[in-house]
Chains A and B, each alone.
Chain A
Amino acid sequence: MTPTPLLKVVPVSEPEFAEWSVHSEDFNVWYRDAHILNDINVRFPAKGITCIVGPSGSGKSTLIRSINRINDEVPGFLSRGSISFNGKDVYTDYKDLTILRTEIGMVFQKPCVFPKSISENVLFGVAKTRKLSRAERLILVEENLRAVSLWKEVSYRLDDSATSLSLGQQQRLCIARTLAVKPKILLLDEPTASVDPVSGRAIEELLLKLKKDYTILLVTHDLQQTKRIADHIVFLCDGEVIEQGDKAKMVTNPEHQKTKTYLSDSFCEC
C-alpha cells in the first residue's frame, strides 16, 4: 500500500475546525501479520459528529477502537505512530487506561447490557470506584436515562432486568451507561446496525442532541445516516484515509474520485 499524502491531511488552519480534540499521526495497526491501518493522519474536530465511513474491512472499527485502546485486549495487536487526545498521546501519556477510558467513552455495535437491573446498568461504570449515596444514584439514573430519552419508557421499572428491554432500548441504555461516566468523547461503532429502524432513528435524534456537548465519532455503513447527521466525514479505504472534510464538501465536491464513487454508490475499488 502506498500512502496518498496529498489528499489525506486537512490543514490545521481550516477555520471551521479551530479546535481539534483527537488527531493521529502516521498511525499504523497490525493484527499479527495483517497490516490493518496504514499511516493514518486524521483530525477529529471537537464537538459535533464525525462519521467514519468506508467499505467492510477498511479499518474503521480498528481506528476508533484504537482511540480508547480497547484493542490492547486483542491478542496480536500492535500499533506504531501516535494518537493524541487534547494534546496527550493516548499510547504513551496514559499509564492508567481506566482514566483514558473514562474520558473516551465507547458504545459497540451489538448492545451488551449486563445481566443486572436497569439502574445498576446505568451506574455500572460510575459505581466502580466509590459507594454512591441513594440520592446520588437516583439523580444519576434519572439524568442519564433522560439524556437518552429512555426515562419515560423505563422510569416505573428501574429494578427490572435490563435484558427485558428491546434491543433498541438496550442500545440507548448502553449510551446512557457511557454518558454516566462523563466522557469528553463518544466513540460509537455502528450503534444502529443491530437495532430496528425506529430505534435507529431514535438513536440518531439522540446523537444530534448530544453533539452540542460531546465530540462524537461514529463508524457507520449507512450512507443515508451519514448524510443525515454528519458534520464531518472521514473516508477510509483499505486501511488508508482517502479524504476527510466537512460534510458539504465531501458530499458535493470531493477532491478524490474514490470518495465521490463511494459516497454516491456505496462502492469502492481500493
Chain B
Amino acid sequence: MSNRSIANTAFVFLSRLATGICGFILVFLIGVIVWNGMNSMNIQFLLSEASNFGASGGILYQIVGSLLLVVMASVLVMPVAIGTALFKSEYITSPALFRLSSILIYSLNGIPSVTFGIFGLIFFVNILGTGISWFVGSIILAMMMLPTIVLTTYQSVNSIPSSYRENAYALGLNKWQVIVKVLLPQSFHGAVTGLLIALARAIGETAPIMFIATAFSGITVPGSLFDPVVSLPTHILALAQQATNEAALQNAWGSSLVLLSLVLVFSVSALLSRLRLKEISQR
C-alpha cells in the first residue's frame, strides 16, 4: 500500500473513532439517566408536590418553577438580543467598534455561570435589596442567554443579501422600515433558533440561580415577582447531597430524566423551527 492510501485509511479510522467516542458518551449518559430515572417516573411523580425534603412526593412545582424562570428570561432577553444583533449588523460602521462588539459578546459568553450567580447575589439581592426572587433569577439567566441569541440572530441578519436592502431603499423605504419589513421577517428563524438553544442550556443551569432565585422546599407558585421558586436543577443538587437516603437519590434520577426531557424538547424544537421558519421566511 502506498503512503497515501495508508494515510487515507488512518484518517478515516481516526475520524470514525472520534465520532464513535462522541456518540458513546452521549448514549451512555442518556442511557444511565433514562435507566435510573424510569423507576420513579409516573403521573404521581410529575403532578404532585415534593414532601419529606424531596425524598418522597413529586416535582410538580420544580417543573413549574424551572419553566417560569426560563419563560420570563426569554421575554426579557429577546428584545435586547434582536436589538443588539440589528445594531451590530446595520448601524456599526467603524471597524474598531465592530471588533469591540464581537469581543464583548464572546466575553459575555465566556463568563462562568457561577460568576453570574455571585453578581446577582451582590447586585440585586444585597445592593438593591430584592431578596431571593425568581424574577432576579430570570434576569441573570437572560444575561447568560444573550450572547447565543445575539450571535445566531446576527448571523441570519448578516446573511441576507445586500440586494434586498438596496431594493427596499430604492423603493423609498427608510432604514427603520427596511429593518421591520425586510430584515426582521427574514432573520426571525435565526432568533428563534438561538432562543431555543439558549433555553436548552439555561433550564439546566444551577449555579446562576441557586443563590438568588430558588429555595429548596416548601415553595409552590410564587405570589409576586420577588418571591423564590423551586427549580429542577437546584432540586437535583439538594437531593444528590443526601447521598445516604436511597429514596432521595431515586428522586434525583427521576428529576434528572424530566430535566433532560425538557432540554430535548427545546433542542428538537430548535431544529424543527429552524427548518420550518426558514422555509416560511424564504417562501
Residues on A facing B (Cβ under 8 Å): 68, 70, 73, 75, 97-99, 101-102, 105-106, 108, 110, 112, 114-115, 124-125, 128, 161, 163, 174, 177-178, 181
Contacts and interface: CB of A to CB of B under 8 A. Distances in A.
Interface in B218-272: none
Q: On chain B, which size bracket covers the interface?
A: 20 to 34
Interface in B87-123: 93
The 6 closest A-B CB pairs, nearest first, are: A125-B171, A102-B172, A106-B170, A101-B172, A112-B163, A98-B172
Contacts of A97: 169, 174
B4 interface: no
Contact of A98 (B165, B174, B281, B282): B174
Contacts of B174: 97-98
A98 B185 CA distance: 21
Interface in B165-222: 165-174, 177, 181-182, 185-186
B164 A114 contact: yes
Contacts of B170: 68, 70, 101, 105-106, 108, 178
A181 B172 contact: yes
Contacts of B169: 70, 73, 97, 101
6 contacts: A101-B172, A102-B172, A124-B168, A128-B181, A163-B282, A178-B171
B283 A99 contact: no
Nearest to A113: B167
A128 B283 contact: no
A75 B92 CA distance: 12
A128 B93 contact: no
Contact of B172 (A75, A125, A161): A125
Contacts of B161: 112
Q: Which of B161, B169, B177 has the most CB of A within 10 A?
A: B169
Given A101-B172, A178-B171, A108 B166 contact: yes
B167 A128 contact: no
Q: Which of B168, B170, B282 has the most CB of A within 10 A?
A: B170
A98 B165 CA distance: 13
A163 B281 CA distance: 11
Interface in B7-37: none
Contacts of A110: 163
Contact of B177 (A68, A73, A128): A128
B190 to A, nearest CB: 15
A163 B283 CA distance: 7
A125 B181 CA distance: 10
Contacts of A112: 161, 163-164, 166-167
A79 to B, nearest CB: 17
A73 B282 contact: no
Given A75-B93, A115-B186, A115-B281, A177 B163 contact: no
Contacts of A106: 170
B165 A128 contact: no
A2 B166 CA distance: 33
A114 B178 CA distance: 11
A102 B173 CA distance: 9
A251 B135 CA distance: 76
B186 A73 contact: no
Given A125-B171, A178-B170, 6 more contacts: A70-B166, A98-B174, A102-B171, A108-B166, A114-B168, A128-B173
B186 A128 contact: no
Nearest to A102: B172
A57 B164 CA distance: 23
A42 to B, nearest CB: 21
